[in-house]
Structure 1
Amino acid sequence: MPEPSSALRLRSSAGRGTLAAAVLASGMVFLDSTVVNVALPHLGADLDASVAGLQWTINGYLLTLAAFVLLGGALGDRFGRRRVFLLGVVWFTAASILCGLALRTDWLVAARFLQGAGGALLTPGSLALLQASFHPDDRAKTIGAWSGLSGVSTALGPFIGGWLIDALSWRWIFFLNVPLAVLVVLATLRWVPESRDENASRKRGTRQFDVAGALLGALALAGVTYALVDAPDRGLDSPAVVAAALAGVVAAVAFVFLERRRGETAMLPTGLFRSRLFSVLNFFTVLVYAALGGFTFFIAVYLQNVVGWSALLTGLALLPMTLLLLVGSPLTGALSTRIGPRLPLTVGPLLAALGLLMLREIGPGASYWREVLPGVAIFGVGLTLVVAPLTASVLAAVNDRFAGVASGFNNAASRVGGLLAVAALPLLVGLTGTGYEQPAELTAAYRGALLWCAGLLVAGALIAALLVHRPARRPPPAQPCHSLPVSTPR
């Protein structure tokens, strides 16, 4: 059947406004996933934080974002993606203000937990809005543009954060979200159409929520994360560490069992995993984003505390990644549409791993042009080859009506990768206490961590080469008889 006239085209003003709202909102979340890394030495000194405190500053955000992003996607599918998206923007902004006002590490960590929960509401909605609102002919191009521009926020975070930290204070990296949120709300109210999965509301009922599933997922991540973060100080045989690890594992098993029993009412319909491609791509996502999360956690601290650069120079050092993502992601999205995702998802991680191995050797007094830029550029090229093809392939591997859940799970997979890397790498490389302030100790930990990250990328490349294939082409979905451009089941 033909598309309704309400299906957005990218060249229209409503199409550009919808894309802008999605990019700015997801950019807030992605920026806060990286910008805090540059601030770690400064907020650590200001709040007298240990390595564990720095880890929880990152992981408190990632934990709730990863745990509840599935629920955020499901709520959007059921009650309206635009409505839940706006709620997430407001929640995220309020939590950002609390982060900026924090006077103690525990206050900051608690606010980061809240900030991640707000991000879980808006992140899947930003992508699901594009998938549901745009004409099928424009979806791949739109998702490519979203991936590139949102990826820019991830890379731009260290640069913006560095300038704000040096010029004002680390607190302003959180206050920056306020004007961005105002623009998002105005653009959403003006241009973004509402969409939902009508099948979800009709079959599951409007009052059914998989709260138990969301809580079990959060408990699983929290238990494992606590065990990894506290093990260096308490010891692997500590009763608290063992109990947390066991609680996390038991909660994870219970989560899988519950989701299988709930069937259509589950937060995460396990039928999605009948698609082998969907399963493989999400495992690939965990590996690649674990490497990215570990790298960004260590590089910002290392460049300031060992190489001796300012926060601004540290941000500038990573700027080439921004430019490469901006220019290259739409191109790689179009390329993967023509040739399939296997080649980009194989070559990209290998190039990124090479870049990390080059950056592993830098030391005090390193030359940016000869020692830092080549590694950053090669890593950026590799990342550019991955981001857009991965996002488009994950969505193409499932039915359109599960766009919110699929994008939510893929976002969860990426956050879980970063969460586990930040929790585990300091343990694996022996960084504890205030070791991040000791150049010799930090140097050894940094080099060991980047070696681990490179290994994760190589593993991802092998998986892509052996198991990833082109998603099957499906005909455009039939449309329901109402004015909103949402898809019905095939």
Structure 2
Amino acid sequence: MRVPMPTSILTTPTPADAATRGATLAAACLSMAAIAMSITAAGVALVPIGAAFGIGFGALQWVLNLFVLSFAAFLLPAGALADRIGQRRSFIAGGAIFSTFTLMAVLAARTEWLLVARFLQGAGGALLAASGPAALTAVFHGEAERKRAFGWLGSCGGVGLTLGALLSGAAAARGGWRAALAIHLPLVLAALALALWNFRGHAARPAGARFDLVGAVLGFTAIAAAMAFGILGAEHGWGASAVLACLALALVAGSLFARSQRRHPAPLLPPALLRNRGFVFACLLTLLFTTVWVAMFIYVPLHQQAARGHDADRAGRTLLALLMPAMVMPALASRLAVRIGTRAVLVGGCLAMAAGLGLLYLAWTDLSRPAALEWLALAICGSGAGCLYGLLDYLAMASLPNALAGTGSAAFNVLRLLGDALGAIVPGAVLVQALAPRLAAAIGEPVPREVLNAVAAGQFGALASGGAAAVEAFRDAIAAVPAVLAVLVLLGAVLAWWRAERP
């Protein structure tokens, strides 16, 4: 199957002038960078927030996770709303909500208000994420133009992740956690100003049937419960009663949501979206890619600190080898896609990531090898990831009719967030399974689950005896992570070769 070219599927809107195209692209890129920065900045600010409010690790995790949960759960309703009222109005609403509750988080005097602000900030982010990419398909019409626009969008996501990690640390050191949480506020205010000045999306869809409120509630519940299952499972273990309750709620709400979508005249997730092979292909490849990409940000710093004994600052600098190529490659990849075809770039990106992960496996299985080998591995992975970043957004949006642009953008981002969750869960399960027999053999007896989880997180003091054996077992076991990630990204290469458009 070939993904149809966008000019054959999308009706061509009235051409936009250069100022409108520039303002719309800049607003979408700034909002993407702001959302990415808000996630990484909150992670850096967790320790000073805990010290300021006197709260423990569990509560601190919700400062980060409530934003992600809310962002994911609101995406489908946000997409339907964007199609219903137009991307410009929904983008402006999202920017206003996001900036207002960012300010509330910065000024929060109590933990409860901080958590409420982070939750509602996620709702604003969902409106921005559902509207911005969809609007690009309204102002950029040619294949080459769209690939370049989505390349810039992908680059800005990478820039946001990098700046969020780097600037928030400096801001927290000088102005405390409030400064760290505020670093992305100028970006979203600039995006809002551009949207008010000269931003164009697709026209609002005629109202027709009433808004699918039941579907919105069921979809929100299913996604929120699924995200809570992943968050709580990683913290308390997958057999805990609260974790199983979240799973049951997600399954029940999800099945009811699917049933409601088949019956509603204007469903939140139209069945036509799931029948669109090009869109489904882009979503599946994004799921595989995001799982691998997010896992790198979790397990590379963990290996640096727990296996090599480096401090957090050095571990963070090591990630620059991964991030810097990923920042510049999306714009280059979009040009390559015009010259040699989308399929070649997607397959090449996946194979580059697999090669980098193979080198990372070699570096982790023998720590006496030069540190430059790990940096080279990360740089190759980052370059491959940059080839996929914006191009997958382009493929997803180019395969959809204008009337489903907002809904499609939302559904695509839900799958991306599912990949975020799997990026923590899948390699974590691999690490624990690889660690258990090694640790038991080292100390001569089975290790309790809670101790095993602690050692897998690099907390070797959780083992009363055999600390040196725990370190050695951890070093051996964590090498399985890049091997499994390489298999996943090779599956992505096969999928891209089989399903993507030919040059």
Pairwise TM-score range, normalised by the shorter structure? 0.7 to 0.9
Computed over aligned residues only, the root mean square deviation of the Cα atoms, in angstroms, reads 3.6
SS in 2 for 1:169: helix
Q: 1:94, CA displacement in angstroms?
A: 2.7
Answer yes or no: is the 8 Å Cα contact 2:218–2:256 preserved in 1: yes
1:219 pairs, out of 218, 221, 227, with 221
Structure 2 residue 151 is matched with structure 1 residue 144: yes
Q: Does the 8 Å CA contact 2:138/2:201 hold for their aligned counterparts?
A: no
Residue aligning to 1:346? 347
Q: Check if 1:193 corresponds to 2:200.
A: yes
Quote the residue 1:177 is aligned against.
Answer: 184
What's 2:441 paired with? none
Partner of 1:160: 167
2:155 alignment partner AA: G
Partner of 2:463: none
Say if 2:30 is the partner of 1:17. Answer: no
Distance 1:44 1:284, change over 3 A: farther
Partners of 1:44 and 1:389 in 2: CA distance? 39
**Identity level (%):** 30
Please say if 1:257 is aligned against 2:259.
yes
User: What is aligned with 2:384?
Assistant: 382
After TM superposition, the score normalised by the length of structure 1 is 0.81
Look up the match of 1:288: 289
Q: Which amino acid is 1:7 matched to? A: P
Q: Indicate how the Cα distance of structure 1 residues 407 and 234 shifts in structure 2: closer, same or farther if over 3 A, else same.
A: closer
Asked whether the equivalents of residues 137 and 398 of structure 2 are also in contact (C-alpha less than 8 Å), the reply is: no
Superposed displacement of residue 414, structure 1? 0.6
Q: How far is 1:39 from its partner?
A: 4.7
By how many angstroms is 1:88 displaced? 0.9
Q: Following superposition of structure 1 onto structure 2, how do residues 94-105 of structure 1 map, counting pairs within 5 Å?
A: 94-101=100-107
Give runs of aligned pairs for residues 86-485 of structure 1, distance below 5 A: 86-101=92-107, 108-136=114-142, 138-193=145-200, 195-197=202-204, 200-204=205-209, 208-231=210-233, 235-263=237-265, 265-300=266-301, 303=304, 313-359=314-360, 361=363, 370-423=372-425, 425-426=427-428, 429-430=431-432, 432=453, 436=457, 438=459, 447=479, 449-470=481-502
* Separation (CA, whole Å) in 2 of partners of 1:92 and 1:124: 13
Residues 76 and 125 of structure 1 are in contact (CA less than 8 Å); yes or no, is this contact kept in structure 2?
yes
2:90 corresponding residue in structure 1: 84
Letter in structure 2 aligned against 1:211: L
Which one-letter code corresponds to 2:15 in the other structure? A
1:365 Cα deviation (Å)? 10
For residues 457 and 242 of structure 2, the distance between their equivalents in structure 1, rounded to whole angstroms, comes to: 24
Distance across 1 between alignment mates of 2:122 and 2:190? 20
The residue type equivalent to 1:150 in the other structure is G
Paired residue for 2:38?
A: 32
Distance 1:3 1:275, change over 3 A: closer
Does the aligned pair in 1 maintain the 2:212–2:268 contact within 8 Å?
Answer: yes
1:289-315: per-residue Cα shift (whole Å, max 9, x none)?
A: 122222223444554676566665544
Separation of aligned partners in 1, 2:394 and 2:45? 32
Structure 1 residue runs of 5 or longer lacking an equivalent are 472-490
Provide the C-alpha distance between the structure 1 equivalents of 2:190 and 2:276, rounded to a whole number of angstroms: 38
Alpha-carbon separation, structure 2, partners of 1:444 and 1:218: 41
2:80 alignment partner, one of 74, 84, 108: 74
2:200 alignment partner, SS class: coil
Cα separation, partners in 2 of 1:342 and 1:427, compared to 1, 3 Å: same
Identify the range of structure 1 (319-328 vs 341-350) with the bigger mean alpha-carbon deviation. 319-328
Instruction: State the alpha-carbon separation in 1 of the partners of residues 310 and 241 from structure 2.
Output: 41
SS of the equivalent of 1:173 reads helix
Tell me, yes or no, if the aligned pair for 2:82 and 2:406 is still in contact at 8 Å: yes
CA distance in 1, matches of 2:139, 2:415: 24
**What is the distance in 1 between the residues matched to 2:290 and 2:481?**
14
CA distance in 1, matches of 2:215, 2:38: 26
How far the C-alpha of 1:239 sits from its partner, in A, is 3.3
Check conservation: 2:98, 2:123, Cα contact below 8 A.
yes
1:123–1:188 Cα change, 3 Å:
same
Change (3 A) 1:48 1:462: farther
State the distance in 1 between where 2:253 and 2:259 align: 10
Q: Deviations over 1:221-276 (max 9, x none)?
A: 3333333443466554443332221111121222222112224x111111122222
Paired AA for residue 245 in structure 1: L
Instruction: From the CA coordinates, give the structure whose radius of gyration is larger.
Output: 2
The one-letter amino acid of 2:270's match is P
Residue number in structure 2 paired with 1:477: none
Q: Residue 380 of structure 1: CA displacement?
A: 0.9
Q: Deviations 1:156-210 (Å, cap 9, x if unpaired)?
A: 332223333444434433211222222122222222135424xx32534xxx222
Separation in structure 2 between the aligned mates of residue 32 and residue 134 of structure 1, nearest angstrom: 28
Aligned CA distance change for structure 1 residues 108 and 389 (closer, same or farther; 3 Å): same
Q: Using the alignment, how far apart are the partners of 2:304 and 2:50 within structure 1? A: 15
- How many residue pairs match? The answer is 461
CA contact (8 A) 2:355 2:381 kept: yes
CA distance 1:400–1:62, shift in 2 (3 Å): same
Q: 1:402 to 1:373 in 2, by over 3 A?
A: same
